[in-house]
Structure 1
Amino acid sequence: MSRPVLFFDSGVGGLSVLAAVKKALPEAPILYVADNGGFPYGTKSEEEIATRVPALLGRLVERYDPALLVIACNTASTIALPFIRSALQIPVVGTVPAIKPAALLSKSHVFGVLGTEATIRQPYVDHLSEEFASDCTVIRQGSANLVTLAEAKLRGEKSDLALYRAELDRLLQQPEGDRIDVVVLACTHFPLVKEELEAVSPRPLLFIDGSEGIARRARYLADQLARKCELKSLWPVKPNEKHPPKGQLLYTAPTEILMPFRENIKKRGLNEIVFL
């Protein structure tokens, strides 16, 4: 495999970012790392995340020599991104809540941020809200259950829609929650269950995430690196249906892989599963 784009998340949430980045970088081989050995991140302390993630990524970068790293996890990005960038010598794309576009899209000037508990309490979210949404009311809600539901969906398991409604209600029933017209999905797991959230919403809501912005940033950094290396492209061989770019899913701990899940990730271009 030529130098891959390394995706990193605690689980399979980063798959919601993968499609957009693959569209922006169709020629790039993909190594997707799911840190199931540390899953879930959203219920862990800042100290645990800031200690575990940079150390693990350091080992992964040394072993697999990626051209580019995409932290496809809001929790890891909002807590550990500065530590990761200072520790690594490759371009790093982080994932942060799409507060700026939400502020532009909200007609009521009241929008929700639905993420993990660890993400929504971060000062980084405060700074984004102050910088880009100072004229808006930003209502936050943490949910560990939606992470679990998204992981179950990728395994082919069906969940009661009432579980999704309960999580959404916790956001909408907060003070001024009846004025929310945009919901930021501030965990990469959550776009995987966007259809379910739309199905249980008591009124039309616009659910948004940051995948397109991440893809644009990844393309920009890849082009910048190619110019620095005096190359037209980091990946000169153009993919086609017979020879698609290689895609691997790597787990940091043993786990059972069932056929529905294997089929789901294969549709996303990850044809090989390996364990660290």
Structure 2
Amino acid sequence: MAMSKTIDSPESRFTAVLVGAARLPGVRIDRDAYLRKALGRYCSEDEIRRAIEESPAAAGISLEVLDKAANDSIGYETAKASALSAAAGIPGLLLLPATMPADVAQYFGHMLRIVQKLAYLYSWPDLFAGDADDLDDATKGMLTLFIGVMFGTQSANTAVGKIAGMMSKQAARKLPQKALTQGVVYPLVKKVAGYLGVQMTKQTFAKTVSKAIPVVGAVVSGGLTLATYLPMAKRLKKHLASLELTKPTLRAESGGATDVTDVPEPVTAELVD
């Protein structure tokens, strides 16, 4: 019974969807290629090279330029997510069991795409370093917090801010494994994952109802995705742009730190919607 409750918990349901979405083709963004393309319209070759080798902050790229590039990516991903959601709504009620799981996975897959793009623009390290299919616990935790920010949870905002502060102090080029898996931020990761699992269930139900009528369901579903995805992406952009990591004066140290020491101050694992 205890095992069943663990498997069926909101936290575990969200984590399962997160991992599944991360495995979908086209979800993982090549950081170097993306930065070169996104900044190509606005920056010099030297700035782009340094942004790739270190970070956009280390290259001295202004927030104004980063915001323009971020808006370009948000517009592209929003249009694509809405179109795919609308397409999944066309079959109607008879094919709902087949289309809904795919639609949910695609939706979160597009969340992961914009999470990566915005993170890289605002000087976070590569979130999917290596070719392994499985996500390590630190990466799952960081992605959970980013999506939590998109959903407007204050706990996720606080946790992402703390991680950014740790990394900026040591000019780290990797996620702080300890803080995300057993340290000061870990309780917040678990709380945010549980909250997202509940919200995911609510959104899935809403989309199921909207898809019950063919064609009409496609319009409603695509519109629902547009109405939710766009403001969530903008919310993440605003939060990332406000963090210490984005400051142009920050310079990555030669070789970079491989990890970040936990900050000893306590963190209250209280979730605020």
* Length-normalised TM-score, structure 2: 0.30
Structure number with the higher strand fraction is 1
* Length-normalised TM-score, structure 1: 0.30
Structure number with the higher helix fraction is 2
Which of 1 and 2 has higher RCO (CA within 8 Å, sep 6+)? 2
